[in-house]
Each structure stands twice: as C-alpha cells, then as structure tokens.
Amino acid sequence: MDEKRIKQAESNFRMYLNEGKIKKIDKFDNIIYETYLRNAKESLQVANQLFENKTSSLWVVVSGYYSMFYMACAFLYKLGYKSGGEIVHQVVNESLIAQGRHKIKNHLLENYNEEKEKALVIVDSYLNDYEREKAKRSSFQYQTTEEIKESKAKTSLNRAKEFVELIREVLQK
C-alpha cells in the first residue's frame, strides 16, 4: 500500500468523521460487537459451504467479502468507531486503513517477531486484499460471467479466512 493511498484514506476518514458517516461511540455495547463477530463467522461459514458444494461462485465471493466487512466493523467498533448507513463499505474500508493499519502491524510485530518493514508489508497486503475483495464483490454481483466467478472464488474465500483470523487475533489482545 503506497503512501499516497494511506494519506488519502486518512483524509477520507477525517472527512467521514466530520460528516457523521462514521462516529466515535460514547458507550461500548457488547451486543453490537458480538453481532459483528457472529455475522463475520456466519458469512465465512456460508462462503465455505457454497464453495465446497459448488453452489455459487458469486456468493462465495459475496459471503467471503461480508465476513471481512463484518470483522472490520467489529475491529473499528472495538477501537471506538461505528459507521452509519451511507456509503458504509467505503467508510469502513478507509477507516480500517486509517485507524487499523498500525494496530494490526503492532500485533504482527508482537506475535511473529517480524521486523518493522516486513510487518508493514504483511499488513498492507491484508488491507489491499480487503480493498480488492470489496471491489470484486461489486463487480461480481453485477458484471461477471460464471466462468470467471468460479476461477476467483477460491482466492476470495482464502483471503476472507486469513483476514477474519488476523482481525480475530488482534481483537483478542
């Protein structure tokens, strides 16, 4: 993830905060947090079942992305932020980059004793995966043929599994 993209996400996050598209929460509500986690887990299970049963490549991608989205929402909520309804996917994406990048990097440094630059490369890879899956979900839902969907569904499922597991580890700290 290049510096220009990171600066843009930080700028967008500040703008979304000022516009009320994401808000600082006053009081942590465990029901909201647990709902995000439960939705992430269920979405990933659905994606996995759809893939194993070869039911729908489209919905593997969509469900896999939503597992990442709900996990990102749980992460942001734990940090004290909750997104609203307007352009929520973009708000979560930008907020995750602006607010989560260094926290995820620090987790990787602690748990894997990685050098700083290697940890940043790893976290940027996860954040790029999230952003790509967000874009893929949109194009798959509306513009892609079945042959293309099937060829990319497994990658989406694996990215979702890895992302959900990483954020789950960070949240357990």
Segment 78-98 shows an average pLDDT of: 94
Backbone angles phi, psi at 33, to 5 degrees: -60, -50
Tell me which of 139 and 169 has the higher pLDDT. Answer: 169
CB atoms within 10 A of CB 9: 21
Q: For tokens 């708000």, name the residue.
A: 91
State yes or no: pLDDT of 149 exceeds 90: no
Average pLDDT over residues 132-137: 82
Between the CA of residue 173 and those of 65, 104, 161, what are the distances in Å?
24, 11, 19
Share of the chain above pLDDT 70, in %: 94
Determine the pLDDT at residue 144.
Answer: 60
Q: Which helix (H) or strand (E) holds 83?
A: strand 81-83
Angle at Cα 44 formed by Cα 158 and Cα 1, nearest 5°?
A: 50
Q: Are 161 and 44 in contact (CB under 8 A)?
A: yes
pLDDT at 143 over 60: no
> What is the maximum span of the chain, computed from C-alpha positions, in angstroms?
47
Written as one letter, the residue type at 64 is G
Instruction: Break the chain into its structural domains and give their ranges.
Output: 3-171
How is domain 3-171 classified at the CATH fold level?
A: Four Helix Bundle (Hemerythrin (Met), subunit A) (1.20.120)
